[in-house]
């Protein structure tokens, strides 16, 4: 247990051709909200640790970003959690911004950038249902494992609509959540068409190995 009230661990993950050291919460039993910041943001004690774990979908998205054609484009990682994809993009010299609404995300992102000898990653604390006026618009919007509650598809699609341009692409790594169909419908209402590619997610349990990469472009 750290002096801050939660336990962490640092592990190494090979992504593309590089190794990344990732500082994460030790397990799903961690919880620390002494000032009630997370509670005010609507984050329950059960969901509190989810931002700070290394998830197979997050590793899959990071792997996609290690070889995605990205030169000259601005990127935002939505619901970034530990921001592993953002670390990969930062190492590639991409103009990347990471966003989340968890009060500890920025601290973990800062520590992980330093662990990998990277400059700090631009970060904005952003709610999918807020206006986020200073966030701007991006050429590519990426996310991983963000469709785990019933309301998320509509909220995320509306957020994307507010921060995209007519040529924005969207990529979501999903481990097989039940709400993907609703997300496709919501994105269609924002003017996007979708395609899907199945792939094995690193470290996934056998029953959920067949993850998918969802890609959206505007007509």
User: Looking at residue 82, which CATH number applies to its domain?
Assistant: 3.40.50.150
- Residue 1: predicted pLDDT: 42
Q: Is residue 1 part of a domain?
A: no
pLDDT band at 4; cut points 50, 70, 90: confident
Contact 146, 31 (CB under 8 A): no
- Number of domains present in the structure of the chain: 1
The whole-model pTM stands at 0.94
Question: Which residue, among 59, 68, 58, has the nearest Cα to 100 in the 3D structure?
Answer: 58
Measured distance CA(182)–CA(36) in Å, rounded: 32
Domain boundaries, position 175: 8-218
Q: Is residue 61 part of a domain?
A: yes
Measured distance CA(95)–CA(112) in Å, rounded: 17
3-state secondary structure of 73: coil
Count Cα atoms within 13 angstroms, Cβ side, for 7.
6
- Residue 65: exposed, middle, or buried by beta-carbon count in 10 A (0-12, 13-18, 19+)? buried
Q: Is residue 171 part of a domain?
A: yes
Rg of the chain on CA atoms, in Å: 16
| Residue matched to tokens 């919880």 | 31
Instruction: Calculate what percentage of the chain has a pLDDT beyond 90.
Output: 88
Q: Is residue 3 part of a domain?
A: no
User: Average of pLDDT values for 93-106?
Assistant: 97
């Amino acid at each position: 247990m750290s002096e801050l009230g939660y336990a962490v661990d640092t592990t190494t993950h090979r992504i593309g051709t590089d190794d990344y050291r990732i500082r994460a919460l030790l397990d799903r039993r961690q919880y620390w909200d002494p000032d009630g910041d997370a509670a005010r943001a609507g984050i329950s004690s059960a969901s509190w640790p989810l931002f700070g774990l290394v998830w197979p979908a997050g590793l899959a998205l990071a792997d996609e970003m290690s070889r995605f054609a990205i030169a000259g484009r601005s990127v935002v990682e939505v619901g970034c959690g530990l921001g592993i994809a953002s670390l990969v993009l930062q190492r590639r010299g991409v103009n990347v911004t990471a966003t989340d609404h968890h009060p500890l995300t920025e601290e973990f992102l800062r520590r992980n950038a330093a662990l990998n000898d990277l400059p700090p990653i631009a970060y904005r604390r952003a709610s999918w249902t807020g206006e986020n006026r200073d966030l701007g618009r991006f050429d590519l919007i990426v996310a991983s494992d963000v469709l785990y509650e019933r309301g998320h598809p509509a909220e995320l699609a509306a957020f994307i609509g507010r921060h995209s341009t007519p040529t924005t692409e969207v990529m979501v790594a999903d481990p097989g959540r039940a709400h993907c169909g609703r997300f496709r419908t919501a994105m269609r209402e924002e003017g996007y068409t979708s395609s899907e590619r199945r792939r094995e997610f690193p470290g996934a349990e056998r029953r959920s190995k067949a993850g998918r990469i969802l890609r959206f472009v505007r007509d």
